[in-house]
Structure 1
Amino acid sequence: MKKWLIPVGIIVVLVAIIAFWSIGIKNSGLKYSQAVNKEWGNVQTAYQRRNDLIGNLVNTVKGAADFEKGTLTAVIEARAKATSVTIDPSNVTPEQLAQFNQAQSGVSSSLSRLLVSVEQYPTLKANENFLKLQDELASTENQILTARTRFNESVQEYNGYILSIPNKWFLGEYKEKPYFEASTGADKPVEVKF
């Protein structure tokens, strides 16, 4: 056997090991990226559920009470604005996420005002359909919180993977993804007036 074949064989084996190792890193990066996209889809599904319930809530309130039109209009407009903001999870930027969060915060704020104003209508509060919708909205808000938390957890795993060395060297095309953050003023307690 020729002596020069041994170093060539070692080099070929090393190149193969490095190639398979880098392919493994890229495949894992793709897996983490897809996990973030899936969790973003769950966030959007939870918000869509809330938007669907808002239409039913507004119609129930309209039918059961001579209600302030301004409050109903604010809820409807906030819902329309929130559904108009869309984000591509593979290219999400902190600015886009902030815009999305702000639109969804407007819906939450309008809904809070609507539910507080409903307190003035005892017949509406006793309406079984309204009570069911109110429970569904509370459940949906919990689902939104859970979906956002899971999204942030998947972003943490993704960012940790793509930003660590040596992965960063092989995953230059993968960009860091932003986290959901609390809306401005969320640290202050909600003021409820009757």
Structure 2
Amino acid sequence: MIYYLIGTIVIIVLLIGWVISTYNNLIRARELVRNAMGQISTQVESRWDALKNMIEGTKQYAEYEAKTLADITEQRSTLGQGAAVSDVNEDDRLFNQAMGKLFAVAESYPELKASQVYQDTLKNVDKYEQQVRQSRMIFNDTVTKYNRIIQTVPSNIIANLFHFTTETYFENSSNKTDMPSWS
């Protein structure tokens, strides 16, 4: 009888240990996803900062166009670790809208397009765009690992018990399949 009691206690302790270990693995995986989104947010913020520098340079050539561009930058919301993929996609849409307007201004003002500030800023924007793209790939890899943990047996039992849900991936849209051309 004592062996059954000891056996039962050992099984219960092992089961509790497994639940705790699985829960902690889920937390770690979810935090890696949040960290990956934080990295994207940081790169996106740097990209906007470079664009704002370009807008400042535009003011000396065309005040009205610079105001329009500044209005677009004010429409965006700051992204953070808790941002959703849709938030980043909306931010991209606003960024591309601002870049399109900026390119139109540069076409109207050749001296702006030829300026060193404009050229340097384009290089910085391109650098940050590359970093955003790289951060998205890391995010998707991290989401794959996280989603795999919460969907496979037996960890899916703990995931369902504690309401862990799958994360959304970044997907290529039709306008994101090619590298942007900043020149």
Under TM normalisation by the shorter chain, which class is it? 0.7 to 0.9
- 1:92 aligned partner: none
CA contact (8 A) 1:43 1:148 kept: yes
Supply the AA of the counterpart residue of 1:162: I
Q: 1:113 aligns with which of 78, 82, 101?
A: 101
Listed one character per residue, the Cα deviations across residues 26-66 of structure 1 (whole Å, up to 9, x for unaligned) are: 11001001101111111110111112222211011222xx3
CA contact (8 A) 1:78 1:103 kept: no
What RMSD, in angstroms, separates the aligned Cα atoms of the two structures?
2.7
Tell me: CA distance 1:77–1:183, structure 2 relative to 1, closer, same or farther (3 Å): farther
- For normalisation by structure 1, the TM-score amounts to 0.79
Listed one character per residue, the Cα deviations across residues 75-116 of structure 1 (whole Å, up to 9, x for unaligned) are: 323322222566725xxxxxx532441232121232133135
- Runs of 4 or more, structure 1, over 6 Å off, are 188-192
Answer yes or no: is 1:177 the counterpart of 2:167.
Answer: yes
Answer yes or no: is 1:159 the counterpart of 2:147.
Answer: yes
Supply the AA of the counterpart residue of 1:103: D
Answer yes or no: is 1:54 the counterpart of 2:54.
Answer: no
In 2, Cα distance between the equivalents of 1:74 and 1:157? 42
Q: 1:148 aligns with which of 133, 136, 154?
A: 136
Structure 2: which 5+ residue stretches go unaligned?
none
In 2, Cα distance between the equivalents of 1:117 and 1:100? 26
In 2, Cα distance between the equivalents of 1:154 and 1:37? 9
In 2, Cα distance between the equivalents of 1:87 and 1:30? 15
The 3-state SS of whatever aligns with 2:73 is helix
The 3-state SS of whatever aligns with 1:181 is coil
Tell me: CA distance 1:141–1:125, structure 2 relative to 1, closer, same or farther (3 Å): same
CA contact (8 A) 2:35 2:81 kept: no
Q: 1:78 aligns with which of 53, 72, 82?
A: 72
What is the aligned residue count?
Answer: 180
The 3-state SS of whatever aligns with 2:165 is coil
Residue 183 (structure 1) shift: 4.5
- For normalisation by structure 2, the TM-score amounts to 0.84
- 1:6 aligned partner: 3
- 1:67 aligned partner: 62
Tell me: CA distance 1:84–1:32, structure 2 relative to 1, closer, same or farther (3 Å): closer
Structure 1: which 5+ residue stretches go unaligned?
90-95
Q: 1:88 aligns with which of 79, 82, 105?
A: 82
- Higher RCO (CA < 8 A, seq sep 6+): 1
Q: Percent identity?
A: 19
In 2, Cα distance between the equivalents of 1:27 and 1:188? 39
